Chain A
Amino acid sequence: MYSDKVMDHFKNPRNVGEIENPDGVGEVGNPVCGDIMKIFITVKDNIITDAKFKTFGCGAAIASSSMATELVKGKTLEEAWAVSNKAVAEALEGLPPIKMHCSVLAEEGIHKAINDYRKKQGLPQWEEKHPHSHDHGEEPVCEH
């Protein structure tokens, strides 16, 4: 059901772990929905020099986190912000339709980490596409 690329990133995930004293952290998802991604980034001169993740979720969620962190490393914040869920899914040689929300979570996790960095720098927030999806509310909505 998964592409070879998804299985590769699931079984040999890149960038697993946490960054100590990260410049930005983004956490998206909810345990109730069965997936949580936490993305850590290091930023130097507007460039993401390191990215790591911790993920609770299915094979596609883990592979999406791995691929998303790979894609944003070395990019400027503007370039990283433009990495779409579609780009993550395409880089993984496709995801089953029911798993596309995993790539959306990855995109949102990156966005949240970048905005967390911008907030710490006193910079204005960039507008997120789905700022309230998968929020940690009382009644989480598990959909994408």
Chain B
Amino acid sequence: MSCFRDFLRHLRQPFGYARSPHPNIAGIVGLGTAIELATADIGGHNARIAVLRDRMLKGILDTISHSRLNGHPQKRLPGNLNVSFEFIEGESMLLWLDDEGICGSTGSACTSGSLEPSHVMLAIGLPHEIAHGSLRLTLGDANTEQDVDRVLDVLPKVVAKLRDMSPLSHKSGKEGGRNV
């Protein structure tokens, strides 16, 4: 009972005369349940997503030339994939992917509100032009193998379409700049 009294006292509002507020019981129970669900099988959850992520990575690197993984192959969040494609810019990739119902993100300047690409991409050693061509895709529990297959079907076409109109394509002999 003393615990409950302390609880009420600590929730007291200013001025002394106002009643103690009602704690958000539903919110507290909901948060507790959400944490339970999220952590109940965290190892299995991570392993499942990592399998999908690795499948997506392999598919991308196998089918799209001049592509690369950004960051460490294993030491990363299980659902996180970040890749770069030479000769193209990230925002134009996102616009086409969005059109196909695929959500992603890029380190290109064009989405940052400035003209500088992601400082993280630069900090891990990518030259500016490769940072501009980065794409981040993240997977969660709701994603399936079909989702990964769909990305692997759509993404190579998007990259090819943009490379076709790029003055930097490998056909022109310009290999996308320095340090590549």
Partners in one complex: yes
Residues of A within 8 A of B (CB): 7, 10-11, 13, 16-17, 27, 31-38, 53-62, 98-99, 101, 142-143
Q: Using a Cβ–Cβ cut-off of 8 Å, how many residues does chain B contribute to the interface with A? A: 28
- B82 located at the interface, meaning its Cβ lies under 8 Å from any Cβ of chain A in the complex: no
Check B115 against A58 for contact (C-beta < 8 Å). Answer: no
Residues of A within 8 A of B127 (CB): 32
Contacts of A60 in B (CB 8 A): 110
Greatest chain A CB density within 10 A among B127, B132, B177 is at: B132
Interface string of B100-121 (1 = CB under 8 A from A): 0000000011100111110000
State the majority secondary structure of interface residues on B. loop
User: Are B177 and A142 within 8 A (Cβ)?
Assistant: no
Interface pair A58/B168, CB less than 8 Å apart:
no
Within 8 A of A (CB), among B117-160: 117, 127-129, 132
The answer to whether A98 and B113 have CB atoms under 8 Å apart is yes
Residue of A nearest to B172 (CB): A54
Nearest-neighbor residue (CB-CB) of B88 within chain A: A56
From A7, A38, A143, B115 is in contact (CB under 8 Å) with: A143
Are B109 and A34 interface neighbours, CB within 8 A?
yes
Closest chain A CB from B79 CB (angstroms):
26
In the assembled complex, the Cα of A97 lies from the Cα of B91 at a distance in Å of: 16
Cβ of A56 and Cβ of B91 under 8 Å apart? no
Q: Report B18-60 CB contacts with A as 1/0, cut-off 8 Å.
A: 0000000000000000000000000000000000000000000
Answer yes or no: B95 CB below 8 A from chain A CBs: yes
Q: Which residues of A contact B164 (CB under 8 A)?
A: 16
Q: Give the complex CA separation of A143 and B177 in angstroms.
A: 20
A38's contact among B92, B109, B129, B167, by CB below 8 Å, is which?
Answer: B167
A34-B109, A34-B128 are contacts. A62–B92 as well, Cβ < 8 Å? yes
Chain B residues contacting A61 (CB-CB under 8 Å) are 89, 92
Residues of chain B in range 70-98 having any CB-CB distance to chain A below 8 Å: 87-92, 95-96
